[in-house]
Structure formats: structure tokens, C-alpha cells
Amino acid sequence: MTAYTEQPTLDGLFARALARAPDAIALADGMSHDNACGRPALRLTFAQADRAISAIAGQLQRLGLKTDHVVALQMPNSVEAVLTLLGILRAGMIAAPVPLLWRRTETVAALSRIGAKAIITLGRVGETDLAELATHIAAEVFQIRAVGAFGGDLPDGVIAFDPLLESEETEPVAAVTRRQDPAAHLAVITFDTDTAGPVPVARNHAELLAAGLAVANESAIAPGRAIFTTFPPSSLAGLATGLVPWLAAGEKLCLHRPFDAAALGDQLATEDGGVLVIPGPLAQPLCEAGVFAHAPGLHSIIAVWRAPERLATAADWRDTARGLVDLQAFGEVGLVAARRGGDGRPSPIAIGPVMASHATSGSMPVAELARTASGTLAIRGPMTPRFCYPPGADRGDPPFLKLDEAFFIDTGHPCRVEPGGGAMIVTAPPAGLVGIGGYRIALGAYQQIVEETDADATLAALPDMLTGQRLAGRSSDDEALRDALLGRGVNPLIIGAFRDRRAAEISGETRPGRSAPADPYS
């Protein structure tokens, strides 16, 4: 037996969980799934999930896709998204989850860069026809050979994936052999953003496990306890707080939309939940609203700060029945998790090694932090990629992931270190980027698009208590500009900046000038 067979892969972890309890519930959609996606919520055992994963993997292979081909997926936080990602991996391919709010402009650029061969999506989410969008993207990305989707009433040429969920028996998936350590093979590509556009960030199984286990250790995620997450598996934060800990230890993974507090509270009260993953700014408001009051099994809450500069001003945590773990996510580069102490304040993080369990001395390091000469935060370690993607991208034009000779990656976040070698504090987002919930936007690029569309229009970023920043726009004819931007395939966050402010204010939907997509943390 070779040494590398001891290294687990994500599919290998699923196989272990399947063997332990095939009839236990593995995956469950949130109670609002049918309203958001127009299809029934799914609730699958490990055995049912295994059959669906194999069916998806077999379908991809029958479509003529080969080992190590890149398959994109664009889905909300749903059971279908988890099954599809694991199906891609079981087929020996590389999964590339695309942010839900991306439209044609960003998605075409990103998928062209990584050479994606297929895209799988959900038919409709809210008012957006993702399947129709996928067909337009495929028409512009010449490498894409197939488009698949879950849901009914699909456009012509889109392969229906719903039957794969109902199959009781599936053909065996063609075995995939690796000459090297399978855990060191690329598994997932997520997308960061810099001022030049989308940046592919590729990680292997071992790097994903390092990130996920760091979160699991700090959060005390124990075997047999459910994980509730409001983050889809389309980012490092989503993978490290949901999918990976679930595969390693969770009894079931429950998937929710972050702003449906009533549905979240109802399901927390009925499931044996151990850990809840929510956006950092929502932790205190949800607690004060009593969402956690009827969830006696909930022992830890992971507050994900995708705008880590806001953590320094976070409110004290006073829920003594539940521990709070702050997770600072530095784009797709890396993350740091630390449990709050008894005073309710965020725990200090120092420059240097970051341990797998922040509060336990002698634990293994999972990352190392450094402050660059320009005053920004850099990170390296087991969870960070060691190469840019696609191979050789660093010899061409940007954007691409940049590593220095010591494998540090500059996050671009300005930071300071407290006097006497104290805590490291992130003070601002990377220059030129706007962070709205979990999305990064190159503001200058979109300002140029807006000005090209309407020379008199302006677009600006403003502070926001909930999402970190928000977009506000002005033009002589907002409706005409929205239609023009929609036709160009622009991100709905940009279009929302030019919404009818008076109508929104009268309806109570949002504050004047606020860009309010349905799910900015997805």
C-alpha cells in the first residue's frame, strides 16, 4: 500500500459517512427552498445522496467529459448544489462553483479563463432564469460542450438533471485512477476578484480539508451534530464552514437562505442542530430577535466576516448558552477562525502561525500571517494554494493568483499590528474593490460600464451596517439605464443601484439609494 492512500479526499470522507450510517439524514433544504426556487425542498439520507451523486457522475461521463475537465455550477444554497459538486468530484473532474449573483459579464470571463467544459445550474431562482442564462454563457464560451439543469420547463438543448435525483439504481461510475496522491489533486476552483477581473483560485482536497478542519476544531463541531449553514459551497468560506465539516463530522447538513430568519428559527427548533453558520453582521441581530431561543441543541455559532475590517467594531457577544466563533475570510486566499472569550469580544489574532485550535496550545499550525512592506496582510500555510490556475497563468496577462517565493499570498487587506506585538487588525478592504455581503466588485470597471451606457450616470460605494458597503447610482433615466445594463449582462448589484428609490422607500423594501439584491451573502 502506498503512503498517499492514507490521505482522505472529499468523496472518500463521504464514503466513510455512508458506511457509518447509510439511512441517516445527510442533506436537508431549508423550509423556504420551495418559495425561492419553485421546487420542493429535498431531504436525503446518505444512501439516497450516494445514488444521486453517482448518477450525476455517470451522466457527466456519458456526456463525453473526461478526467480533470472543469465543470462549472451556478446554484443557490441547496441540496442540488452539494450533490452536483460531489458528483463532479466522483467523476474525476474539477468543480468550479460560480457565485449566484454573477451574470454573463463575469461568468463568461471566468469560465473562458479556466477552460470550463460544461455548466450545471438550477432552472430558476426567484425571478432569474439561471438555465436560460447558462445557455447564453455557453454560446460565448466556446469550450463548453454541455449545459445541464435541475428543474422543469428548461430551454431547448439543456439536459434535464432532475431524473438523476429519482434513480434507485445507477450504472457504475467509471473508475478514476491517479498516479499521484489523490488528495493532492485539484478538486475545486473558486473565484476571487481583483481590479482586473475574476481570479481563479484552485485548491486540492488536502487544502480544503485543512481549512475545514481548522473551522471544525475551533467551533467544536462534534460527530453526530447537524450543521446549519447560510453559505452555499461556492467559496472557500462556504466550503470550509459547511461541506467539509459535514463530511468530516456532521450528522446532516441543513442549507438555508441567510435572510429568511423565520424559516431558519423554525428549522433550528425542529432539528438537532449543533452549529449554525451565518454572516457576521447578522449574529447579534438574530440573537436579539430570539431566533436561537428555541434551539436548545445549538452550541456554537460561526460568524463569517467577509468584510474582516468590520470585526474590530463588532458588538459584544452575550449569549452565554452558545459560543461564538469569528471567522475572518480574506477573499478566496485564506481564513482565520477564533472563538470569543468570556468577555464577549473578538479574540486577538497575532502575526505569525495560526493554530488549528486557537485556544489550544500545541495544536498544529494551519496558516501563517505576515504584514507586507506595504502594510497589507499576507497568508500562507496548508489551506492556501501553492500554484496559480490555469498552469502557466503567471507567465501571461493578469488577473491571476500571485505567490511570492515563500508562498505567501498578499490578501490586499490593509492591516495594523497593535503596539508591543499585539493583535493584528484588518482596517480596510483591498484598494479598488467594494465588498457587498460576500461579493467583491471592482468598482472602477463597473463605473466605466455605467458611463459607457449613460454618460451622465454615476455609481458610488457607501458604507452599510449590514453588508459592509452598498452601491448607489444616479442617472437621468434610471429605468432606461437598468434595461440597458440588464441587456449587457451586468451583475444585479449594479442594476439595483439604479432602482426606483421612491417606490422602494414607500414600500419599506429598502432605504433610499440602497442596492438590495435578494441574497447578497449567497
Residue 3, pLDDT > 50, answer: no
Domain definitions of the chain by residue range = 11-18+36-177, 433-507
Could you give the CA distance from residue 310 to residue 468 in angstroms, rounded to a whole number? 7
Peptide bond into 399 cis (omega under 30): yes
The DSSP output letter for 174 is P
- What pTM did the predictor assign? 0.91
Comparing 11-18+36-177 with 433-507, is the CATH topology the same? no
User: Which of 32-46, 107-121, 395-409, 441-455 is predicted most confidently?
Assistant: 107-121
Whole-number Cα distances in Å, 316 to 96, 295, 468: 37, 21, 18
Q: How far are the Cα atoms of 108, 124, 133, 156, 229 from residue 139, in angstroms, in the given order?
A: 9, 19, 10, 13, 34
Highest CATH level, class, for 433-507: alpha beta
Name the CATH code of domain 11-18+36-177 (choices 1.10.4190.10, 3.40.50.980, 2.40.10.120, 3.30.930.10): 3.40.50.980
Residues 164-177: tens digit of each pLDDT: 998 776 677 887 88
- The per-residue pLDDT for 169 is 64
Q: Is the pLDDT of residue 513 over 70?
A: no
Give Dmax (Cα) for the chain.
70
Q: What is the pLDDT of residues 304-325, one digit of tens each?
A: 999 898 898 888 998 888 899 9
Which tens digits make up the pLDDT trace of 387-428?
A: 999 999 989 888 999 999 999 999 999 999 988 767 899 998
Average pLDDT over residues 360-371: 76
DSSP for 23-46, written as a single string: TSEEEEE-TTHHHHHSSPPPEEEH
Which range, 448-452, 488-492, 498-502, is most confident? 448-452
